A and B are shown apart, each in its own frame.
Chain A
Amino acid sequence: MPTRFLPTNPAIAERVDRLDLPFSAHGIDPYGIDKRELGRFFTWMGWFYRRYFRAEVYGIEHVPARGSAMLVSNHQGGIALDAGMVLASVFFECEPPRLAQGMVEKFLASLPGSSHFTAKVGQVTGLPQHAERLLQDGRLLMVFPEGARGTAKLHHQSDSLVRFGTGFMRLALQTGSPIVPLAVIGAGDAFPTVANLYKLGKLVGAPYIPIPRYLLPIPRPTTFQILYSAPMRFEGDGTESDDLVVGYVEQVRLRIHWLIEQGRKLREGKLDPNDLEVT
């Protein structure tokens, strides 16, 4: 893989060593996560996170230090930059560092290179079986209940929320995992989509191809605000009626909506970070 030639920052390799994952002597965990690949990935992702985008993180203490939890976030900006920022924030800001594991679109697993890369940095194919297993193993799951509908938002729709799926809530109930709602602000500005080409996407197996305002598929440098709020726990075993589950999902959605509003104010300088109360 070409990534093999990328450098690894020793300080980041040391953080990778401190991840609470059962790596084998070859630095491989049971899901195929590769320590060396993580070191290289967070080295360049760290540069994007700190220098190129300048991420500001609030409420990181709400991410549990160990055990299963579900990070539930809004999703926007064409190419899932928000996922990268969430990954980087829990890796760089949590003590000890944690690895968030996302559920990637199935088509990425069939593309050469991306298939190799996503699995090695812990981003598994989006299947309910994977999510359930990761939670049972005490992992940190990253979920975007808006799915591809979320990243398909156009620039003027940024910071809105579309329909949430309910699968994540049933999994949380089934596995007894806390939900940590969070909001990421900035992905829409970093990649201002003006159109999504669905037919072209179909040809390459992707849900769509996003086209930014300036045509080049390169994100613009901008700041990101990432706000974590207190874990929410729901009682149940995952077999509850849809009405009840939809109600629970709505509570999470409202919490994220509120976080987005706070994040917007911070971004526009209308709220002093010291006055922010992330609960």
Chain B
Amino acid sequence: MTVLITGISSKLGRLVAKELLAREHEVVGIDRRPWGDAPEGVEVLQTDIRKRPAEDIFRTRRPTAVVHMATVTHLMQRSADRFRVNLQGTRAVVQHCDTYGVEQLVFVGRHTYYGAAPDSPLYHTEDEPPMGLASFPELADLVAADLYAGSALWRFPKLSTAVLRVCYVLGPSKHGTLAAYLRGPRVPTVLGFDPLFQFIHENDAARAIASSLEAKLRGVFNVSGPPPTPLSVVIEQTGRSAVPVPAGIVNMALGRFGLPRLPKGAIDHIKYPIVIESGPFREAASFTHNFDEDQTMRDFRNAR
């Protein structure tokens, strides 16, 4: 089938494209960024998903399925533009899917939807509301985009929509939220807290997205790989050293002393766990992960 990937030039987008090619699907992509060495047969249109040329792709190529990954996640950037891309962009994609008879839409969302708090349960299930917005308002547009995509399930019943809430993605590309947090040799942690972190190898994440298309999933699904690992073990196994900072001064210390900057709300994400239950996805998409937590951390650590 012909699959359109929005946000194809991201590290994960490229992996999904290659995975779909390997499964003998035709791939077209849209992204504001170029993909210089795109594999043969992959057509990449460099434009914004809200613009007319993007709609033209739907009209001319008539994709059977769409993987929507064009959401801005860089949490430091809290601009009106980010809100527009994440919300108006998602709206445009859903509308075009309906107008041009797309059969399937996969929205790639994040497990941070659930938020981190001292009283949030381990192993979140898909029916839970987003509880982290009070402490982490920067996530509002991503959460809204997730819920908006989910509304396509009743607004456009002919379109088979799957909303995936994927845990942190880690791997040799060294891209993504968790990779950014682990970027430097010193990783700030909050003294007296060692939450569980759940991550999936980037190749497994790409396979999971491709499998969700082939299984024609409909509904909201959590996607995760191996069981969660405590932050202290993640830091140790990726060859970093933890810098425990007392909770009272953690905001002041970030961005100084060689420590990375984090948005204020993200502090809760390094104090409390966000762990999801992905049993329904594994069953519905017949998915099993190939990379365990050690292999994933090793691949991240050894990548240049």
Give the size category of B's interface with A: 20 to 34
Chain B residues, CB < 8 A from A127: 119, 121
B247 within 8 A of A: yes
- Known contacts A115-B271, A129-B121; decide if A32 and B192 are in contact (CB<8 Å): no
A112 touching B118 by the CB < 8 A rule? no
Interface of B is mostly: loop
A28 touching B230 by the CB < 8 A rule? yes
Which A117-140 residues have a C-beta within 8 angstroms of B? Answer: 119-120, 124-125, 127, 129-130, 133
Chain B 113-127 interface mask (CB, 8 Å, partner A; 1/0): 000001101110000
B204 within 8 A of A: no
B228 touching A30 by the CB < 8 A rule? yes
A26 touching B233 by the CB < 8 A rule? yes
B273's partner among A24, A32, A110, A130 (CB-CB below 8 A) is: A32
B118 touching A125 by the CB < 8 A rule? yes
A112 touching B191 by the CB < 8 A rule? yes
Chain A residues, CB < 8 A from B194: 1, 116, 119-120
A112 touching B190 by the CB < 8 A rule? yes
B199 within 8 A of A: no
B190 touching A109 by the CB < 8 A rule? no
A24 touching B121 by the CB < 8 A rule? no
Q: Give Cα A119–Cα B230 distance, bound, in whole angstroms.
A: 11
Chain B residues, CB < 8 A from A92: none
Chain B residues, CB < 8 A from A109: 118-119, 272
Chain A residues, CB < 8 A from B228: 30, 32
Looking across the interface, which residue of chain B has its beta carbon closest to that of A114? B192
B119 touching A106 by the CB < 8 A rule? yes
A110's partner among B118, B122, B230 (CB-CB below 8 A) is: B118
Q: Quick one: which of A25, A109, A124 has the most chain B CB within 10 A?
A: A109
Q: Give Cα A120–Cα B196 distance, bound, in whole angstroms.
A: 10
B181 within 8 A of A: no
Looking across the interface, which residue of chain B has its beta carbon closest to that of A125? B119
B214 within 8 A of A: no
Chain A residues, CB < 8 A from B233: 26, 28
Looking across the interface, which residue of chain B has its beta carbon closest to that of A126? B119
B192 touching A1 by the CB < 8 A rule? yes
A106 touching B192 by the CB < 8 A rule? no
19 A-B residue pairs with CB within 8 Å: A26-B233, A28-B229, A28-B233, A30-B227, A31-B122, A32-B196, A32-B228, A109-B118, A109-B119, A111-B192, A112-B190, A112-B191, A115-B118, A115-B193, A120-B194, A125-B121, A127-B121, A129-B121, A130-B121
The 4 closest A-B pairs by CB, nearest first: A112-B192, A110-B118, A109-B118, A113-B192
Q: Which residues of A approach B to under 8 Å, CB–CB?
A: 1, 24-26, 28, 30-32, 34, 106-107, 109-116, 119-120, 124-125, 127, 129-130, 133
Q: Which residues of B approach A to under 8 Å, CB–CB?
A: 118-119, 121-123, 190-194, 196, 227-230, 233, 237, 246-247, 271-273, 293-294
